[in-house]
Amino acid sequence: MSYQNILSTTNNGIASITINRPKKLNALNKATIEELHSAFKVANKDKEVKVIILTGSGEKAFVAGADISEFADFDVKNAENLAGDGQKILFDYIENLSTPVIAAINGFALGGGLELAMACHFRVASTNAKMGLPEVSLGVIPGYGGTQRLPQLVGKGRAMEMVMTAGMIDANQALDYGLVNHVTGEGDELIALAEKIAGKIMRNSSVAIKGAIKAINANFKDGVDGYKTEIKQFGKCFGTEDFKEGTTAFLKKRKADFPGK
């Protein structure tokens, strides 16, 4: 599929999706959000894809924020629609995707960029990464899930401080906060780390991982009993070919070859 604002390739079971607007520091606009949705949808349907890695082009930015020029003159209703549609089309969509998504944060991840990274299942960052939610400095608040996901990841107090000060934290502080899982060098080192982790994921049952994503996410949804979701997903595993293969391989002391069914 041909895209104007992103690049999407698949190799050895890994789909790599790159936001490619370097002159705009990969800022998110409506067209880019729609293209990202399409690319994630295609990758998630591809049975050969086991992990998705999301990053930004160049070494300056993952995504430096939303494209402010696109909504500077919006009224209240248009702004609500912008946030609601964006969350549905992309941010919530990624969070609930059945294929694991790793954000490889290279450079700035600000505003909508950090919100995009937080929607991924987990994050790795290069040493030059800078993260923050600067929206209040523009007279607005994060609108793509930032006020919800940031406290889940770093705690209420730290999230309040980050949002209220509109400040940035570096990669090592993000690691200390638990906002990212790993920090490594820039460029190829970052992607190599993401691919190494992806390789570890790919050795396991994709069906079980899908169930685990649902169960973990359930704990953060209002009105949903995460324990009940876990019990249901646990039970469903017993009806899969992956479970039969995994237990048989364990008992026979051999490496499992999961069919993904």
Considering the candidates 35, 95, 135, 195, report the single residue annotated as catalytic. Answer: 135
Nearest to 244 by CA among 202, 199, 205, 200: 205
Non-local CB neighbours of 47 within 8 Å, separated by 6+ positions: 260
Determine whether 80 is an active site residue. Answer: no
Q: Answer whether 177's CB lies under 8 Å from 133's CB.
A: no
Determine whether 95 is an active site residue. Answer: no
Question: Rounded to whole angstroms, how far apart are CA atoms 231 and 7?
Answer: 39
Q: What is the DSSP letter of 90?
A: I
Q: Which amino acid is at 105?
A: I
Considering the candidates 34, 35, 48, 115, report the single residue annotated as catalytic. Answer: 115
Question: Rounded to whole angstroms, how far apart are CA atoms 230 and 113?
Answer: 31
Q: Answer whether 38's CB lies under 8 Å from 1's CB.
A: yes
Annotated catalytic residues are 115, 135
